[in-house]
Amino acid sequence: MTPATPERRQPDRNGFAICARLTPALLLAAVLVAVSLLTRIVLLLRTDTPPPSGPGALAQVFSRGLYFDLVAADYFVTPFLMWLALVPNRLAATRLHRILVLLGFAGTVYGLTVVAVAEWLFWEEFGARFNFIAVDYLLYTQEVIGNIRQSYPVGRIFAALALPALLVTWRMGRRLLRSAGAPLPLRARVAALAAHALLVAAAFGFADSDQKDFSASDVANELAGNGIYEFFAANYRNELNFEKFYATLPPDEALAQAKRAVDAAGEWLDRPHGTFERHVGGSPSPRRLNVVLVSIESMGAEFLDAYGNGKGLTPNLDRLARESLWFSNAYATGNRTVRGLEALALALPPTPGQSIVRRPKNERLFSLGSVFEDMGYDTLFAYGGYGYFDNMNAFFARNDYRAVDRTDIPREKVVFENIWGVADEILFDFVLDELDRQQQAEGARPFFVHIMTTSNHRPYSYPAGRIDIPSGSGRDGAVRYADWAIGHLLDEARKRRWFDDTLFVITADHGASARGTIDIPVDKYRIPVFFYAPQHIEQRRVKRLMSQIDIAPTLLGLLGAPYYSKFFGRDLLHAPPAGDRAFVANYQTLGYLRDGKMVVLQPHRKVSVFEVDADGHRGAPAEDPTLAREAIALYQAASIVFKSGRYRDEEQLAPATTR
């Protein structure tokens, strides 16, 4: 009598034996938990990771971490478990099926090791687990994959990661082959799938990313998370509802208090349907100057000698500090390019979630471009990369700008490019040629152009021979080249006859190291702001606190033309110093700086106030209910006017009263 093979063996009454077919899914879940634990330990041991402090902090990191690892494993093994549970017994017993299970297991383990290394690299860049930035980047695979390939030895890394995956699979291979072919009765299939469905439902209903946030330390909370879980949680919660997650005031009270904070003496329009609009009076002699606004990628104040860097990386920007109207205490609203573009174009405080540049219903908004268009200017937005990235072209084209990007630059002019875009000098030369053609045309109008650069970004590459730091060698070289390109822009512009009647505004989209998901490193949000027009504006330094959203109204104030405004920003040269403040935020934590304090608004309606020193370093907790209410009012009002459509660029309705 021939002994029964494992494939033909009748299932015994033991539940574990009955479900032997599902063993590969359980082993895969165990591997995920083990890899996640190892990842957490490795991130904790990084030299740039401060160890969690406080009683029981380390235990909390690992206990909460295990919870999220198990939840992630529950979700992650679902496809594999369904495959094993649903395949017919006859097919499961075949050699082909068992080999496919083995290969699927090996490939999935390999994927887990790749994710673990990706977490290391993401932590190195952003100081966090996967978050909404990772979700955004997944939508732009060409740029992101190209950036990774140009920054790291991808081939060697991928090849090396195959070794641990093969080793794990080899150690478990015999058990995988045997269990993959085991018979599974119909009742056991239904029971297994039902039990797993209940686990998934429980995880969905009870597990929440915020449960990892047990500490005031950003690092401790991030370590307690699970990268895979955080990625999908970020995708699910990419836009946060202010009224649902944050402390609020009655809407009418929030709008009224926001108006007082923006312009207590302003001529606010009073309409039946409500509005956030006021009339801004002009000067007796307005100046109809051309305007070139340049936002430099990641050019935080930390890189300039004018702010104490000492490396000599930015001679041209440091010269502007001596020759321009220099606002030396300005802060970016966020830590991503789209936040900077939002602040510069809309002068609106950052609302939680994605930038408005990336959101639906972001067309026909009240923008700096719409104001200049109403003043009879030609308006242009120019980007050195592909403008579909981060929805830039669509946003600006829908908001009274003509948008151009690298696809508009003649191929023969592109002597250097990397995955993010053409070198800054090429973009600048293209824009200068565009402006020349525009000014030579019949009936030429003054122009307003906003230029967004790309070179100061990993992989930090640029044309050879421009500076004394080799291309691709690191951030210092990219900063030095970006500065060289600004000098090139101004030198070439001086050759144009329109130069004497042009105002240049040079700033940054955000700082280079403004990382974190809960704590806001305020000092890393500081950016330079220079207004340069030698024939019209005298050099001086303004040390007043300034927000990135103040740049647009301050620019219009310098020109002196009257206009109707919905901006939340203030004209710093004509507004009283007592109202100076700045907004600093990431996608869910909202900060408000004023009078040496910072209000921090977070989900679950958390409100806290801290002291902040002159260098932007956070100090001891403080009490200031009045300041907290002001911060809530301004952020809430920004959310209200955007969501309700009151920030749209609509024609003026008459009559209207002012108050």
Q: Is residue 533 part of a domain?
A: no
Are 220 and 317 found together in one domain?
no
Q: Is it true that the peptide bond before 183 is cis, omega within 30 degrees of 0?
A: no
Taking the C-alpha atoms of residue 263 and residue 576, their distance in angstroms, rounded to an integer, is 9
Last residue of a domain, one of 202, 236, 270: 236
Are 165 and 302 found together in one domain?
no
Are 160 and 296 found together in one domain?
no
Q: Is residue 550 part of a domain?
A: yes
Are 284 and 149 found together in one domain?
no
pLDDT of amino acid 326 = 98
**CATH number, domain containing residue 298:** 3.40.720.10
Report yes or no: 456 and 480 within 8 Å, Cβ to Cβ: no
Q: Is residue 243 part of a domain?
A: no
Q: Is residue 595 part of a domain?
A: yes
Taking the C-alpha atoms of residue 121 and residue 143, their distance in angstroms, rounded to an integer, is 16
DSSP assigned state of 481: H
Amino acid at 150: Q
Are 578 and 637 found together in one domain?
yes
Q: Is residue 4 part of a domain?
A: no
Four-CA torsion 68, 72, 74, 80, nearest 10 degrees: -160
DSSP assigned state of 388: T
Are 498 and 611 found together in one domain?
yes
Report yes or no: 224 and 55 within 8 Å, Cβ to Cβ: no
Report yes or no: 554 and 571 within 8 Å, Cβ to Cβ: yes
Amino acid at 400: D
Query: Which residues does residue 421 pair with via DSSP β-bridges, in sequence order?
Result: 418
Task: Count other C-beta atoms under 10 Å from residue 272's C-beta.
Answer: 7
Taking the C-alpha atoms of residue 606 and residue 619, their distance in angstroms, rounded to an integer, is 18
Q: How far is CA 219 from the centre of its chain?
A: 18
Amino acid at 567: F
Task: Count other C-beta atoms under 10 Å from residue 227's C-beta.
Answer: 26
pLDDT of amino acid 655 = 39
Are 284 and 222 found together in one domain?
no
Taking the C-alpha atoms of residue 97 and residue 110, their distance in angstroms, rounded to an integer, is 20
Report yes or no: 451 and 294 within 8 Å, Cβ to Cβ: yes
Buried-state track 400-417, b at ≥16 Cβ within 10 A, e below 16: bbebbbbeebeeeebebb
Query: Strands 290-296, 417-418: parallel, antiparallel or unpaired by DSSP?
Result: unpaired
Are 228 and 321 found together in one domain?
no
Q: Write out residues in the chain with pLDDT < 50, as ranges.
A: 1-16, 651-659
DSSP assigned state of 390: G
Are 231 and 323 found together in one domain?
no
* Domain with 62 in it: 15-236
pLDDT of amino acid 657 = 43
pLDDT of amino acid 272 = 61
Helix axes 475-493, 424-440, angle to 10 degrees: 20
Question: Which strand (E) or helix (H) includes residue 253?
Answer: helix 251-263
Q: Is residue 1 part of a domain?
A: no
The sign of the CA dihedral 264, 584, 372, 400 is: negative
Q: Is residue 494 part of a domain?
A: yes
The model's pLDDT over 402-411, given as tens digits with 9 standing for 90+, comes to 999 999 999 9
Report yes or no: 583 and 334 within 8 Å, Cβ to Cβ: no
Burial of 36 by CB count in 10 Å (0-12 exposed, 13-18 middle, 19+ buried)? buried
Q: How far is CA 271 from the centre of its chain?
A: 36
Longest dimension (CA), the chain: 110
Taking the C-alpha atoms of residue 434 and residue 429, their distance in angstroms, rounded to an integer, is 9
Residue listed under structure tokens 């082909």: 96
Local structure of 463: helix, strand or coil: coil
Are 232 and 296 found together in one domain?
no
Local structure of 280: helix, strand or coil: strand
DSSP-H helix ranges across 351-474:
368-374, 392-397, 424-440
Ramachandran class of 611: left when φ > 0, alpha when ψ lies in -120 to 50, beta otherwise = beta
The model's pLDDT over 25-56, given as tens digits with 9 standing for 90+, comes to 999 999 999 999 999 999 999 888 888 887 78
**How many domains would you assign to the chain?**
2
Are 499 and 389 found together in one domain?
yes
Are 563 and 643 found together in one domain?
yes
Query: Strands 325-331, 378-383: parallel, antiparallel or unpaired by DSSP?
Result: unpaired
pTM for the complete prediction?
0.76
Last residue of a domain, one of 213, 236, 259: 236
DSSP assigned state of 406: G
pLDDT of amino acid 132 = 65
Q: Is residue 615 part of a domain?
A: yes
Task: Count other C-beta atoms under 10 Å from residue 631's C-beta.
Answer: 28
Last residue of a domain, one of 236, 269, 299: 236
- Please enumerate in sequence order all residues whose Cβ is within 8 A of that of 375, keeping only pairs 6 or more positions apart, or say none: 561, 563
Q: Is it true that the peptide bond before 655 is cis, omega within 30 degrees of 0?
A: yes
DSSP assigned state of 532: E
- Please enumerate in sequence order all residues whose Cβ is within 8 A of that of 429, keeping only pairs 6 or more positions apart, or say none: 413, 492
pLDDT of amino acid 12 = 46
Hey, what are 141's tokens?
A: 């695979």
Hey, what are 390's tokens?
A: 């981060």
